[in-house]
Each structure stands twice: as structure tokens, then as C-alpha cells.
Structure 1
Amino acid sequence: MKKILLLMCALASFISCQKPAATSDTPLIPEGITFLSREEWDAKDPVLPMRPHKLTRLTIHHTGVPQLFDRSLADKLRNLQKFSQEDSPLADGRMKPAWADVPYHLYVDVNGAVGEARDLNYAGDSNTSYDPAGHLLVVVEGNFEKEAITEAQLRTLEKLVPALAKRYGIPADSLGAHKDFAQTTCPGAGLYSELPRFRQLINAN
């Protein structure tokens, strides 16, 4: 009996020293970031079945088109959803088949506001060869091969990326970018160069 008690005490001590797992108590969107829900931008329902998945990675994209300072985030998200849910031409001349919904989970606009896009419980879509199942997809508005990320976008990502990683238990080495998984320049050199710093923020969080 004494040995059993000693073993239980040792086990309790071991467990108490372990780092607690991230919980859903961690907010999805950190304080100080403007957030626009699907309801607020009048999102339509998905038009096709979607694949449930478990988030294990955090993957950064850019929209690949010029930043728009004179249009609302709601308008941008409605237009992106319309493009996504129809057969639509891509910049390289290919036709994209209709997707169920916006391909990304969160959208960061030029002013640093975050829009809720696809339900995080479902895998996104891509016009490249990688399978985005398991990836939490954050897209940043702009073409960062040609233009600079705004200060507002950087400030948001500095808060958002570590918060998402903490909430979903995603380690720093599972933060990547679209170009890490497919033949593409996305998310552009200007944004890709920020990823090492974002990994440091995840480790410090």
C-alpha cells in the first residue's frame, strides 16, 4: 500500500510539472484587432460539401492581387466568396472549378482587420497541388512580390499568429507558407521573410 501511495505521489508531481495544453479559452482573435464575422459581411452558405479536418499547421498566403485601400473588408470578402463559389478564370489562364466557400479561414485586410472566411473545422481549397487539410489558412491582402505589407497588417499578424498557434496547439515549426508546400511564390518574398520572426513570437507566447 505504501508503495502504491508513493507511486501516485510521484505521478501527480510529474503531471503538475508538464506544460498545460492550449485550450479553447485562448481567444481566436486577440484584443485590439477588428474582427468581421461571416454574419457581419453577409456570407452565403457553402455550395458544396466540405472535408472536416483537425488543425495541425498554420499556413500563410497572400491574395496575390494589389491591395485595395478604398473598399470595405465586407465587400472584399463577398467578392472573394463569389469568385470562389463559381467556375472562375485564374491569372495564368486556367479555369478554377467551383469551391464550396472562400478557400481560406481568415483574411487580413490592408487596415489590419480580420475577416472570418471558411469555417475552421473544414479544410480549405487551393489552385495548386498541395492538400490543405490540417492547415489553418490565413491570407493577407496584397501581392508581396510587388508591394509592401502594411504596418497595420504586420501589427495584426504579430498578435494573431501566436494567438492562433496557442489556441490550436500548433508549434512554431509547423508555421509555414503556401510556397513551402507547392510550386508558387505565395505569399511573396516580403511576407515570407517575416515568418522566422513569427516563429519566435510563437515560441515566446
Structure 2
Amino acid sequence: MKKVLILVCALAGFVGCQQPAATSDAPLIPEGISYLSREEWGANAPVLPMRPHKLTRLTIHHTGVPQLFDRSLTDKLRNLQKFSQEDSPLADGRMKPAWADVPYHLYVDVHGAVGEARDLNYAGDSNTSYDPAGHLLVVVEGNFEKEAITEAQLKTLEKLVPALTKRFGIPADSLGAHKDFAETSCPGTGLYGELPRFRQLVKGH
């Protein structure tokens, strides 16, 4: 059984080298945004098989924990992957089962840099009841029920969100947030309030 799992993961890694079908030649990450690839932050391979999917929505999350200005994006992504790939306790006392990889596809840190998380070809994971298959998951560092989104994060999202929706043919009305699909406060009031403006940017892109 162990050998079969290793083979499945290896095949998943090979397929993951392919890029999701894009509907335009718009760049994945717009010029001027600092980007850290999985290779650059030293990502481990997925530890479980993942579900292939086709991107039809863009859904924004927040990390739900305080912003960390003095830690590198590399450290944040490595710690998030470690948490994700193990059975880990949640803030509400539940235990989260191990996931294959980081649950989100892209991570926007407190300084506006973007980190590559899960391969875009595969559906993410969630602690809530919604099925994230088809969702391009962008997580923004912070707890926006308690703190403000930084100017650098806003500037990045203003460029990144329209670029992603254009590249994958995602319409403005398919831009949403975690709380649109599950009973949760994510991505926090401060960030959720920016979504109407992001939709307008998508329409004008």
C-alpha cells in the first residue's frame, strides 16, 4: 500500500508540472509583484493524492492569525506546509486531519509579496463544509476581524486579482470569499469589504 501511495504522489507531482489551461496570455503574477516559487521556499512534495480540477472561481481567504512583519515569507510558507501536512489542532479545539499540501494556491504576505502554495491544477482544502474544487484560493496574511489589511497587500491584490481572473477566464461575479460558501467570518470584515471594489477592477481589466 505504501508503494502505491508513493507512486500516486509521484504521478501527481509529474502532472502538477503542467499549468492549468489559461484563456489569455496574461501573466500569472503581474510585473512589480515580488513572487516566491515553491522551489525557492523549499516546499516538500504533497504527502497524499490530490483532486485535479478546473478553475472557475477565485475565492479569497485570510490566514486568521496575526500579521508577522519580521518573519520571512519562506518561513511562513514552510510553517504553513508543516501544519497542513500533519494532524494539527485548530483554534476551536478540533483536530485537523493531514492534508496533502498547503490548502491555498497563492499566499499574499504582509509586505505584499506572493508565495506559490498548492499547485493550481489541484483543488484546495478547507476546515469548513464547502467543496473548494474549482476555486483558485488566494489567502491573505492576517486576521481582518481584528487588524487592517496593509497598503502593500491592497496594492498587490489590486493587480493580482484582475490578472488571475483574466488569465483563467473567471468573471467578476465568480470572485468571492470563503464566507460566501461556508459559515465562517473568513476573510474578515476588513478584507471582505474590499471585494466589491475588486469586482469593479475585474470588470474594467
Q: Same fold (TM over 0.5)?
A: yes
Shift of 1:24: 4.5
| Counterpart in the other structure of 2:175 | 175
Shift of 1:25: 1.6
| Counterpart in the other structure of 2:117 | 117
After the TM superposition, list the runs of 4 or more consecutive aligned residues in structure 1 that deviate by more than 4 angstroms.
none
Describe the SS at the equivalent of 2:176.
Answer: strand
Partners of 2:24 and 2:84 in 1: CA distance = 29
| Counterpart in the other structure of 1:204 | 204
Partners of 1:23 and 1:58 in 2: CA distance = 15
State the one-letter code of the partner of 1:47: V
Q: Deviations over 1:128-154 (max 9, x none)?
A: 000000000000000000000000000
Partners of 2:199 and 2:25 in 1: CA distance = 22
Describe the SS at the equivalent of 1:179.
Answer: helix
| Counterpart in the other structure of 2:6 | none
Describe the SS at the equivalent of 2:61.
Answer: strand
| Counterpart in the other structure of 1:82 | 82
8 Å CA contact 2:41–2:77 kept in 1: the answer is yes
| Counterpart in the other structure of 2:138 | 138
State the one-letter code of the partner of 2:204: A
| Counterpart in the other structure of 1:72 | 72
Shift of 1:23: 3.1
Partners of 2:169 and 2:24 in 1: CA distance = 10
- List runs of 5+ in structure 1 lacking aligned partners: 1-21
8 Å CA contact 2:57–2:174 kept in 1: the answer is yes
Partners of 2:166 and 2:121 in 1: CA distance = 17
Partners of 1:97 and 1:89 in 2: CA distance = 9
| Counterpart in the other structure of 1:23 | 23
8 Å CA contact 2:29–2:163 kept in 1: the answer is yes
Q: CA RMSD in A?
A: 0.7
Give the alignment's TM-score, normalised by structure 2: 0.89
Bigger Rg, which one: 1
Partners of 1:130 and 1:24 in 2: CA distance = 29
Partners of 1:121 and 1:25 in 2: CA distance = 17
Shift of 1:176: 0.3
| Counterpart in the other structure of 1:13 | none
Partners of 1:122 and 1:197 in 2: CA distance = 28
| Counterpart in the other structure of 1:61 | 61
Describe the SS at the equivalent of 1:39.
Answer: helix
Partners of 1:70 and 1:113 in 2: CA distance = 14
Partners of 2:42 and 2:138 in 1: CA distance = 20
Q: What pairs up with 1:178-189 in 2 under 5 angstroms? A: 178-189=178-189
Give the alignment's TM-score, normalised by structure 1: 0.89
Describe the SS at the equivalent of 1:60.
Answer: strand
Partners of 1:61 and 1:184 in 2: CA distance = 10
| Counterpart in the other structure of 1:92 | 92
State the one-letter code of the partner of 2:138: V
